[in-house]
């Protein structure tokens, strides 16, 4: 998504990231990866619980949220969710659905 940021902005889409890391860790990540989007810190995992990205306690990666993206319309309604399994193709899927959403409204 970072590499297609201009297309998301052109589609009037706000991209937010969230992690369970501290704000300082998120800042370090943003600077190292040139993330370019707001990165929210959810250290208490309340948002993660609400969006069902918290892994089970027996998962070896329990400290890392599931990679799920949500397409939320201007009214706050979740229009689609994406379990990110193919990072390279993910942005294209979201952009395509965004175009469809704009055409429908």
Single pTM value for the model? 0.85
Which range marks the domain in which residue 80 is found? 2-104
Rounded Cα distance, 6 and 70, in Å:
19
| Residue 47 belongs to domain with CATH number | 3.40.30.10
The residue count of the chain comes to: 105
Number of compact structural domains in the chain? 1
At 25-45, the pLDDT tens digits run: 999 999 999 988 999 999 999
Buried b (16+ CB within 10 A) or exposed e, 31-50: eeeebbeebebbeeeeebee
- Helix, strand, coil % (nearest 5) of the chain? 40, 20, 40
The pLDDT of residue 88 is 86
pLDDT greater than 90 at residue 105: no
Between strands 78-83 and 38-41, the pairing is: unpaired
The pLDDT of residue 97 is 95
pLDDT greater than 90 at residue 24: yes
At 63-81, the pLDDT tens digits run: 999 999 999 998 999 999 9
């Amino acid at each position: 998504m970072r590499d297609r940021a201009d297309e998301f902005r052109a589609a009037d889409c706000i991209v937010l990231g969230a992690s369970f890391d501290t704000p300082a860790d998120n800042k370090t990540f943003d600077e190292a990866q040139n993330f370019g989007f707001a990165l929210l810190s959810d250290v208490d995992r309340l948002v993660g619980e609400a969006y069902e990205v918290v892994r089970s306690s027996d998962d070896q990666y329990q400290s890392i949220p599931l990679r799920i993206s949500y397409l939320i319309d201007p009214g706050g309604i979740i229009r689609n969710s994406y379990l990110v399994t193919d990072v390279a193709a993910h942005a294209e899927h979201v952009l395509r659905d965004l175009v469809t959403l704009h055409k429908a409204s």
